[in-house]
Amino acid sequence: MKKLIILLSIVALTFAQMPTSEALFLDIHSSLSNRLPMQNPAYLNSETSPYNYAFSYSYLNAAGDHKLPFTPNAKNYHTIEISAFQEMDGGLYFGGRFAYRNEERLGKLWLHNAETNVNVPFFFGDSSSGDFNLNGIDWNIIFSYPISKNARIALDVFYNVDEQFKSVFPKPNSKRNDLHLKPAIALDKDNFRLGLRGSYFNYKEEIETKKYSLEPNRTPIFMRIRGLDRPLLSYAETTEERLQNIIGYGGAMDICVDNILSLEANIEKAEALITDGGAYPVEQGNWGYLRFNYRGNLFLNILDDFQADLFFLQENNAAKGNHPTMEAQIFNMATRHFEGGLGIAYKPSSQDEWKAIASYAFEDLLREDTFLGLSHYIPSEILSIGLKAELRRAATSLTFDLAYEYNNRGDLTEYNELSAWYYQMITEKEIIFYGRDTGSIIAGARVTFPYQNLIFAISGNYRNVSAINTNDRYRNAILKLEMIF
């Protein structure tokens, strides 16, 4: 069972997987549940616990020309983390994480929101671009408790507070206060495993721009973006404030039968209310976001040293935005992703393992400004191939993987007859981004080695996305150093 759990985790990390709510809405990627099978906290036990205590530092750098307009020119993220997994009395298992983050978003266009979610339509910003600096701390704890010989219950709690400042006029700042609760249960008996988990989160963001008495003869132009074109413009000479409150809930289920068949499904719904103003807030609109995915894996033993993994997955995302004063939907977005593939694992010895995976996918994107009658639809086909190896020698281990992904875009269907300046400056660039054929190289490595009474780990991940027939690139690189007790 443990071998299957590890294999499932590797396959899930290698190919498409629904990102966590923190990654999607907050751009925070560290989570204790991410290190567990199926991201289910109830699977935390003595077999799945990765270590007892660890101290780590990680650095993320992302930059390039192949990006959406509101993506910063560069990102530099530094994270210091202390984490622990410990078995306590009565079979209770505890996992804990405390992290400090310093984040730089350089050359960010217009927007005041701490993180840009391009699939929702309500943004607030001024007419200047600048650098943003964020400092924050987050906690993550898991309690996993056995209620019987074959069942465990768990609760995963995530809490984050941070604050972001813009370095140039009018120097807005954004404060976030975020909570995510995930209760879960896991049943494991006679080669049958069932996991269930729920999700509830509340992400609050308050954006404030101070009075401008210290900036004589300077009045910022504020933009209230509500779709794909024609944002509202205003000139402010007093404090401006925007509140965004995202509330979401969801559920997930996974089943494993006789180490042969594995099924997983996730669904999540989020809603947000956007208001401007302080003591007397004025509604600016609300948006909803629905995500659903499922995955199936069939494991077959070919020979003594070979195992095949046939898998299929589907992901659906949908977003909509509603006008603040009229009962009308003004924005619509939908994406679909269908993927199937085959993985072959070869284990020549108890210490070495090699895996090769190939998959084919079809996906499409639809975005509509239903208020102004603007839309575009883009289909694409994606081919992915990858190789992963795990090599162990005594207490030293090396893991590395390499993959290539080719994304072939189909013919674009577009309607923009009523477009204005914003469409030509922003939305048109978004369409160009989505419509480009791309090739991606993904590489990663991790080495662990003992030193005195400790274990050290060095890991890195690199992704380079190239737009075909252009010089535009976008890279994302992460380096992590760990000291494990």
The answer to whether residues 116 and 123 touch, using CB atoms and an 8 Å cutoff, is: yes
Question: What's the confidence (pLDDT) of residue 7?
Answer: 36
Alpha carbon distance 382, 403 (integer Å): 13
Alpha carbon distance 73, 93 (integer Å): 42
Side chain identity, residue 217 = N
Whether residue 11 is predicted with pLDDT greater than 70 in this model: the reply is no
Across 57-71, average pLDDT: 96
Side chain identity, residue 163 = E
Task: Kindly indicate the confidence band of residue 147, based on its pLDDT and cuts at 50, 70 and 90.
Answer: very high
Q: Six-digit token pair at 454? A: 């400790």
Task: Kindly indicate the confidence band of residue 423, based on its pLDDT and cuts at 50, 70 and 90.
Answer: very high
Question: What's the confidence (pLDDT) of residue 90?
Answer: 86
- What pairs with residue 150 in β-bridges? none
Question: What's the confidence (pLDDT) of residue 12?
Answer: 38
As to burial, measured by CB atoms within 10 angstroms (0-12 exposed, 13-18 middle, 19+ buried), residue 32 is: buried
Q: Which of 466, 474, 461, 445 is nearest to 60 (CA)?
A: 461
Put the strands of the sheet holding 221-225 in their side by side order. 123-126, 221-225, 232-235
Looking at every residue in the chain, the average pLDDT score rounds to 91
Across 126-139, average pLDDT: 94
Residue at token pair 């274990």:
455
Alpha carbon distance 479, 399 (integer Å): 15
Q: Six-digit token pair at 203? A: 């992400």
Using DSSP bridges, classify how beta strands 151-166 and 173-189 pair: parallel, antiparallel or unpaired. Answer: antiparallel
Question: What's the confidence (pLDDT) of residue 13?
Answer: 37
Question: C-alpha angle with apex 381: 366 to 310, nearest 5 degrees?
Answer: 115
Whether residue 9 is predicted with pLDDT greater than 80 in this model: the reply is no
DSSP symbols for 282-318:
EEEEEEEEEEEEEEEEEEEEEETTEEEEEEEEEEEEE
Q: Domain coordinates of the chain in residue numbers?
A: 2-484
DSSP symbols for 410-454:
---EEE-TT--HHIIIIIHHHHHHHHS-EEEEEEEEEEEEEETTE
Which of the 8 DSSP states describes residue 291? Answer: E
